[in-house]
């Protein structure tokens, strides 16, 4: 034991050096591991944000080419049909008028809201925390929460307008032909109180959904821009 103590007294600087080397090695390895994890997380963050940016862009383009493109025509058609019921509008072309009345039901049933595939993946994997900007993270949550709200809300307030119109005239996307013998019956069904009520319901549906979709449109433009700027700053750093 005495020899060991004497040996340590002579070689103490060597043992301290070896200990320091081991500690420094561990710290370097830990730092390299952290750096590598940070690098991988930054790559994944960039991939997720790029995918979300593309997703909301496609959603916006889809909405523009469907709902927003046809909203005014839908409203005008419903209002014109209502004026016919009230006796303040006389159609020049009865067949065209009946076919146009069917247009009032466009998007009464179909889903016109975009996808949320990437967002669901972020939630299910817990990778939403990879988005380092809290502002962008909150905007992403707000956008997709609003999207889900509109889907559920639209399902709850959908009307039976399209169903009634299909009983007036069968829907055929390839042809607008109408049997002239059926025209008096069709016009009589359009003149009913039930149909008048359905028009008002469909107008309420259209105006309400359009207001919410305008909010979605604004949120998507803001989010798309902010993600784009965030990624540009990341690339320049």
DSSP 95-112: HHHHHHHHHTTTTSSS--
Q: Which domain holds residue 193?
A: 2-236
Helical ranges in the chain per DSSP H: 2-65, 67-86, 94-103, 117-125, 134-157, 161-168, 183-190, 193-236
In the predicted model, is pLDDT for residue 83 greater than 60? yes
CB-side neighbour CA atoms (13 Å) of 126: 0
Confidence of residue 205 (pLDDT cuts 50, 70, 90): very high
Three-state DSSP class for residue 197: helix
pLDDT higher than 80, residue 20 = no
- 117-148 pLDDT per residue, tens: 899 999 999 999 999 999 999 999 999 999 98
Each residue's pLDDT tens digit, 209-218: 999 999 999 9
Is the confidence at residue 7, as pLDDT, over 80?
Answer: no
State residue 169 phi and psi, 5-degree precision: -145, 125
Rounded CA-CA distance 191/115 in Å is 39
The answer to which of 68-72, 129-133, 169-173 has the lowest mean pLDDT is: 169-173
Asked if 70 and 106 count as a contact pair (C-beta separation under 8 A), the reply is yes
Tens digit of pLDDT for each residue in 216-237? 999 999 999 999 999 988 777 6
Number of domains in the chain: 1
* The pLDDT of residue 171: 79
pLDDT band at 174 (very low <50, low <70, confident <90, very high): confident
Residue range 80-105: mean pLDDT, rounded = 94
pLDDT attached to residue 39: 78
């Amino acid at each position: 034991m005495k020899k060991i103590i004497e040996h340590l007294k002579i070689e103490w600087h060597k043992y301290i050096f070896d200990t320091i080397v081991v500690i420094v090695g561990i710290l370097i390895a830990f730092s390299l591991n952290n750096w590598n994890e940070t690098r991988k997380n930054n790559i994944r963050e960039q991939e997720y944000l790029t995918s979300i940016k593309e997703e909301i862009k496609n959603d916006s383009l889809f909405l523009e080419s469907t709902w927003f493109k046809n909203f005014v025509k839908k409203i005008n058609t419903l209002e014109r049909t209502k004026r016919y019921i009230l006796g303040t509008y006389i159609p020049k072309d009865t067949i065209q008028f009946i076919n146009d009345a069917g247009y009032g039901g466009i998007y009464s049933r179909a889903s016109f809201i975009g996808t949320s595939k990437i967002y669901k993946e972020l939630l299910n994997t817990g990778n939403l925390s990879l988005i380092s900007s809290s502002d962008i993270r909150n905007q992403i949550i707000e956008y997709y929460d609003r999207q889900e709200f509109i889907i559920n809300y639209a399902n709850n307030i959908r009307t039976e307008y399209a169903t009634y119109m299909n009983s007036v005239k069968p829907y055929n996307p390839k042809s607008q032909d109408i049997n002239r013998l059926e025209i008096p019956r069709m016009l009589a069904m359009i003149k009913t109180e039930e149909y008048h009520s359905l028009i008002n319901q469909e107008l309420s549906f259209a105006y309400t959904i359009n207001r919410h979709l305008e909010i979605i449109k604004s949120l998507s433009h803001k989010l798309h821009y902010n993600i784009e700027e965030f990624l540009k700053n990341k690339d320049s750093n």
